[in-house]
């Protein structure tokens, strides 16, 4: 399956593929691209997200295959470093599991492997009730005040990107959003085989993220054999944007390191 993507940076350097979070587009990596300009950067729009308008529905498996195809066809040397955030991290793990030879290194940020309160709500409440809640949020998005609140809650402070965030949110139906969230968060992740995967992996998590995300980072740290874990000090779930300096520093220092230890660092 072909996905929409953009290339930037040094076209002859190591390829880095950025995989965005749920219900947004590849534009959310705007705080990284200049910092990673020495790399061959590819930002991908997942199925049914951003500028991807293909008929195939979004699933973790379909997204992983789309990312793998981009690596095969466009990555230098036929390999890429994957940088995923939230649901993008689940997809990166799926690519690692299915196509280990395509992944040179991986950065797994804010992965959600444990169910939190919102996920439990989606399991308990009737779907019609949840859709109704999102319909109310869409109505609220018509007001400038709620638009600013929503964008800032997602860590988007720059007006030009806040406009993109709001426009995307307006264009998505409540039914679509519920389906995408349920697929991204409630679909179980089969981690079988990753305990033997030797891909060098950096696990990132914000110090102030919800407990289930911090716990998920611990679970993954216990599972993967070749990993480093870094905690972003005061980091929220939107740390790639709000704590961009720490995020970029942590990833770039890890990429540049010739040797990797397995210690826990707080930056």
pLDDT of 59-85, one tens digit each? 999 999 999 999 999 999 999 999 999
Mean pLDDT along residues 117-129: 73
Mean pLDDT along residues 157-171: 93
Mind listing the domains of the chain with CATH numbers? 5-115+188-266 (3.40.50.1820), 118-182 (no CATH)
> Which pLDDT band holds residue 53 (cuts at 50, 70, 90)?
low
pLDDT at residue 18, rounded to an integer: 98
Q: Is the pLDDT of residue 265 over 60?
A: no
Please give the structure tokens belonging to residue 108.
Answer: 């797994």
Q: Cite the beta strand spans of 200-266 per DSSP E.
A: 201-206, 227-232, 264-266
Mean pLDDT along residues 242-259: 90
Tell me the CA distances in angstroms from 81 to 45, 101, 104, one per residue in order.
Answer: 17, 11, 5
pLDDT at residue 189, rounded to an integer: 83
Query: Which of 185, 243, 144 lies closest to 23 in space, CA to CA?
Result: 185
Please give the structure tokens belonging to residue 97.
Answer: 């599991």
Q: Is the pLDDT of residue 15 over 70?
A: yes
Mean pLDDT for all residues in the chain: 91
Helix (H, G, I), strand (E, B) or coil at 227: strand
Stronger pLDDT, 149 or 267, i.e. the higher one = 149
Per this entry, what is the length of the chain?
Answer: 267
């Amino acid at each position: 399956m072909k996905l929409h993507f953009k290339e930037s940076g040094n076209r002859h350097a190591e390829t880095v593929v950025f995989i965005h979070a749920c219900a947004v587009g590849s534009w959310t990596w705007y705080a990284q691209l200049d910092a990673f300009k020495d790399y061959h950067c590819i930002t991908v729009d997942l199925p049914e997200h951003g500028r991807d308008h293909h008929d195939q529905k979004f699933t973790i498996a379909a997204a992983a295959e789309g990312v793998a195809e981009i690596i095969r066809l466009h990555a230098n040397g036929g390999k890429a470093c994957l940088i995923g955030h939230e649901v993008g991290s689940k997809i990166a793990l799926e690519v690692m599991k299915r196509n280990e030879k395509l992944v040179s290194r991986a950065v797994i940020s804010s992965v959600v492997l444990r169910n939190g309160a919102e996920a439990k709500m989606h399991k308990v409440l009737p779907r019609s009730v949840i859709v109704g809640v999102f319909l109310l949020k869409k109505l609220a998005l018509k007001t400038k005040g709620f638009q600013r609140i929503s964008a800032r809650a997602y860590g988007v402070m720059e007006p030009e990107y806040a406009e993109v965030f709001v426009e995307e949110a307006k264009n998505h139906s409540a039914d679509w959003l519920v389906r995408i969230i349920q697929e991204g968060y409630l679909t179980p992740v089969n981690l079988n085989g990753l305990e033997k995967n030797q891909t060098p992996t950096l696990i990132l998590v914000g110090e102030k993220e919800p407990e289930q995300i911090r716990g998920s980072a611990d679970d993954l740290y216990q599972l993967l054999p070749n990993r480093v874990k870094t905690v972003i000090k005061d980091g929220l779930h939107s740390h790639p944007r709000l704590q961009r300096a720490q995020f970029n520093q942590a990833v770039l220092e890890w990429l540049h390191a010739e040797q990797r230890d397995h210690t826990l660092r707080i930056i």
